[in-house]
C-alpha cells in the first residue's frame, strides 16, 4: 500500500507572520492555486483512492481541491490537526515572543508553556493516529493508495512515527507549501519513495 502525505497550501497566517497551529486561517489566493497545481500533479501521477484530512480549513480546502480533481471520498480526522499551540495561536510572532518568551534553556519535551501541547503529547497523537490508520487501512489492505492532508508539524511527527525515531532528536523533515511525500508499506517493510516533491508549483 502507498501513502501520500500532502501539506496544505499557503495560508493567510503565512503572509501576516503569525503563529498558526490551531488558529484556523484560510488559504490565500496563491494557496488555492498551489492546491490546484498539486491536485493536477497527483491526478496525473499518484491518484489516491481515499483522502483523509485535518479539519482545519487550510488543510480541508486543499483536500477538497484534490478530491474534486481525482473524484474520491474525503474523511476528516482531528488527529491530523497541527500542533496545539495554545495561547500562541493567531498571535503575531513578534507579539508572542514578548508575551510568551521561551523558557530558559528552550522548550523541554514535557513543557506545556502558554497552554500548548507538549512535544511528548504531540508525538503520542501522531503515534495513535498511525496505529489506528495502520490497523484500519493497511492490515488488512483496503486501498492501493491513501492520501493524508495535514500540516508541517504533524507531517514531521508522522515521519518520526513511520521511521520509529525517538521523541527527542535533531532530525526534522521539512515540507513546503503543498509539498508531497510518498511512502509504501509492504510485507517486506516500509519505504520512503520520495519526499517534499514541489515541481507542481512550476505551474503556479
Give the distance, in angstroms, between the CA of residue 11 and the centroid of all CA atoms in the same chain. 14
Active site residue 8: yes
Of the candidates 81, 106, 90, which has an alpha carbon nearest to the alpha carbon of residue 17?
Answer: 90
pLDDT, residue 37, reads: 98
Task: Render pLDDT for 102-150 as a digit per residue (tens, 0 to 9).
Answer: 888 889 999 999 999 999 999 999 999 999 999 999 888 889 999 999 9
pLDDT, residue 139, reads: 84
Q: What is the CATH number of the domain that holds 101?
A: 3.40.50.1240
Domains in the chain, number? 1
Active site residue 117: no
Which domain does 40 fall in, by range? 2-203
Residue 32 has pLDDT above 90, yes or no: yes
pLDDT, residue 187, reads: 87
CB of 37 closer than 8 Å to CB of 180: no
**pTM greater than 0.85:** yes
**Higher local confidence (pLDDT), 141 or 2:** 2
Catalytic residue among 8, 160, 181, 200: 8
Of the candidates 52, 34, 59, which has an alpha carbon nearest to the alpha carbon of residue 151?
Answer: 59
The set of cell numbers assigned to 46 is: 499518484
What is the DSSP code string of 97-120?
HHHSPPPTTS--TT--GGGPPPHH
CB of 163 closer than 8 Å to CB of 181: no
Task: Render pLDDT for 158-204 as a digit per residue (tens, 0 to 9).
Answer: 999 999 999 998 999 999 999 999 999 998 999 999 999 999 999 89
Bridge partners of residue 76, in order along the sequence? 53
Residue 98 has pLDDT above 90, yes or no: yes
pLDDT, residue 62, reads: 98
pLDDT, residue 23, reads: 97
Catalytic residue among 82, 117, 160, 200: 82
Residue 93 has pLDDT above 90, yes or no: yes
Amino acid at each position: 500500500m502507498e501513502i501520500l502525505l500532502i501539506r496544505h497550501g499557503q495560508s493567510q497566517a503565512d503572509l501576516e507572520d503569525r503563529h498558526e497551529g490551531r488558529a484556523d486561517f484560510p488559504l490565500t489566493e496563491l494557496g488555492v492555486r498551489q492546491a490546484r497545481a498539486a491536485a493536477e500533479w497527483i491526478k496525473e501521477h499518484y491518484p489516491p483512492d481515499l483522502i483523509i484530512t485535518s479539519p482545519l480549513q487550510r488543510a480541508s480546502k486543499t483536500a477538497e481541491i484534490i478530491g474534486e480533481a481525482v473524484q474520491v471520498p474525503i474523511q476528516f480526522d482531528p488527529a491530523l490537526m497541527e500542533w496545539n499551540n495554545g495561547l500562541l495561536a493567531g498571535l503575531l510572532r513578534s507579539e508572542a515572543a514578548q508575551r510568551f518568551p521561551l523558557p530558559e534553556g528552550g522548550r523541554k519535551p514535557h513543557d506545556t508553556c502558554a497552554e500548548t501541547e507538549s512535544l511528548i503529547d504531540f508525538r503520542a497523537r501522531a503515534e495513535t493516529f498511525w496505529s489506528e490508520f495502520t490497523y484500519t487501512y493497511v492490515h488488512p489492505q483496503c486501498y492501493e493508495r491513501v492520501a493524508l492532508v495535514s500540516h508541517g508539524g504533524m507531517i514531521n511527527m508522522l515521519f518520526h512515527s513511520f521511521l520509529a525515531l525517538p521523541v527527542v532528536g535533531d532530525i526534522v523533515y521539512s515540507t513546503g507549501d503543498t509539498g508531497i511525500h510518498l511512502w509504501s508499506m509492504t510485507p517486506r517493510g516500509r519505504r520512503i519513495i520520495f519526499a517534499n516533491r514541489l515541481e507542481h508549483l512550476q505551474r503556479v
